Chain A
């Protein structure tokens, strides 16, 4: 923008008002009622929506983690195993799979998941962690790194 005098520069209201409002109204384009087109109402709704989006970025991750844990727990219980012992057993075997991968394995590759449960079970009962006795006898034919020593 070009200003011919200082007075005009002071009077200036910044960039074009239309385009400024346009940016906000683009964000509120999918809202319902006057919150879509009336600027003063739209700006409030957009602020609110952006706050929720900020909070939601974290919540979404937490929700997914909770869902994965539910799914892994369900997969573990099919093979008479508990979630904490399963994770502990995998970590001790240096099988560092995250929750997302484990949940995907539980859904799509049940046999892989079962073998993981077996490995964890063998390791956990070898180390004699608390609550192992309720899991039953450890599976046969599993060799963990600790057994080789």
Chain B
């Protein structure tokens, strides 16, 4: 193996660290995309027996957005194993307790339940805000595109921007503003 080939081999199979900003993203749709990077499905060299998955660093998992009334309709079940040990936790209650848990479970559940799953999960790093340890931050070389555009609040726009935005409606001539 020449030196060139050896370097090519390293580069092909090197683990890349991806960043994903979960602000205003649906965790269950994001999980589909994150799972691809964790398992290496985004590489043409993919093979189920080929350990080519990457690392994904998810930030702002506390700022995820759910659809409609899902915060109080989605229920997480846990059983301690003892009689009467079943608990049902609503999504917002779980999010109160641990802002990374919904994201983690979403990714865990979209993966096949095989022996690789737990090792693949070890490559997922979730942080509730953008405060990432320096050691992890310096590995990151790529960012995964977000699924939904992050909506901008009206009070975050500059007043001139709001005023100059094209208007689709004007008040009638004698309308008194309130």
Residues of A within 8 A of B (CB): 67, 70-75, 77-78, 103, 106-107, 110, 113
Contacts and interface: CB of A to CB of B under 8 A. Distances in A.
B154 interface: no
B142 to A, nearest CB: 12
Contacts of B41: 70, 73-74
Interface in B32-66: 41-48
Size bin of chain B's contact surface: under 10
Given A75-B44, A78-B44, A103-B44, 18 more contacts: A67-B46, A67-B47, A67-B48, A70-B41, A70-B46, A71-B44, A71-B45, A71-B46, A72-B44, A73-B41, A74-B41, A74-B43, A74-B46, A77-B42, A78-B42, A107-B44, A110-B44, A113-B44
Nearest to A104: B44
Interface of B: 41-48
A77 B42 CA distance: 7
Nearest to B145: A80
B47 A74 contact: no
Nearest to B45: A107
Nearest to A67: B47
A80 to B, nearest CB: 10
B170 to A, nearest CB: 32
Contacts of B46: 67, 70-71, 74
A53 B43 CA distance: 31
Nearest to B47: A67
Contacts of A106: 44
Nearest to A71: B44
B13 to A, nearest CB: 13
Nearest to A80: B145
Nearest to A113: B44
Contacts of A113: 44
Nearest to A72: B44
25 contacts: A67-B46, A67-B47, A67-B48, A70-B41, A70-B46, A71-B44, A71-B45, A71-B46, A72-B44, A73-B41, A74-B41, A74-B42, A74-B43, A74-B44, A74-B46, A75-B44, A77-B42, A78-B42, A78-B44, A103-B44, A106-B44, A107-B44, A107-B45, A110-B44, A113-B44
A107 B43 CA distance: 9
A110 B44 CA distance: 9
A16 B164 CA distance: 99
Cβ-closest 3 pairs across A and B: A106-B44, A75-B44, A71-B44
Nearest to A107: B44
A38 to B, nearest CB: 33
A63 to B, nearest CB: 9
A70 to B, nearest CB: 6
Contacts of B42: 74, 77-78
Contacts of A67: 46-48
A12 B47 CA distance: 55
